Amino acid sequence: MPTGSSGDLKSKDILSYVALGDSFTEGMSDPYPDSDSVPNGRYRGWADRLAEHLAVHVSEVRYANLAIRGRLIAQIRDEQVPRAVEMKPDLVTLCAGGNDILRPGSDPDQVVEIFESMVADLRATGARVVVFTGFDTNWQPVMRHLRGKIATYNMHMRAVADRYGCDVVDVWSMKVLSDSRAWNWDRLHLSSEGHRRLALRVCEVLDLPVDSDWNQPWPPPEPRDWRTARQEDLHWAREFLVPWIHRRLTGRSSGDGVNAKRPTLERCEPGDGRRG
């Protein structure tokens, strides 16, 4: 079993990076500034931003992103991990299990068993593997009751990371993400600013130099009266919560018919990161 990370990423002439996961890693809801000209309105997200940042410090970065919105952890294991293993990348980011934990009746103990099998396969390739804790949902009244389940999964996941020598991005402790401005209107996906800050946090874990602070305090929020807040809650329930519940009841997924945005290792240019 490999132990420890695979060394300084900046010392490599050519670096291959594969991102695995669901909508969190696909990049929703962080569109590229020129997304109207990109087929299917491709999202950017923290993983693209990380690859762009790596390309500033490494001569050549080859990047694939296999993440697809709505994917459950077993689907990520069956669909994405074998492809990543075939690519034999230097670096893998893996965030999985969130969609499972959100489902009523899900068992964090069972979810983490699948998670460990994926980590074992990825680390066996010699890749440096970065994993992510779940978010603290205390700021979100509708999902606050999930804190215990998420915390349990986080503890199991950390134990797996210790056994296999993975880097851990402790998203739970990122209190800066408890601000609503870090989130899209659906309250489930990070905003562009949230993705930017998370990318900076991952860079910190990977010991990559950055010129911004992910933990920089937010400016004072604009005042809102209770009527505005109530209207926003009703809009959210109508436009997001009800359709989300309907998909769960009908066995459908937001990722049905969606393909990976970067299915193969392709060169990533540092200039991409300067587009916004």
Query: Percentage of residues in the chain with pLDDT exceeding 70?
Result: 80
**Given pLDDT bands bounded at 50, 70 and 90, which one contains residue 38?**
very low
pLDDT of residue 240: 66
pLDDT tens column, 12-23: 889 999 999 999
pLDDT reading at 115 higher than 90: yes
- pTM of the full structure: 0.87
What domains does the chain contain, in order, with CATH numbers? 9-216+260-274 (3.40.50.1110)
What separation, in Å, do the N-terminal and C-terminal C-alpha atoms of the chain show? 40
Distance of alpha carbon 58 from alpha carbon 10, whole angstroms: 6
Distance of alpha carbon 205 from alpha carbon 232, whole angstroms: 35
How big is the chain by its Cα radius of gyration, in Å? 18
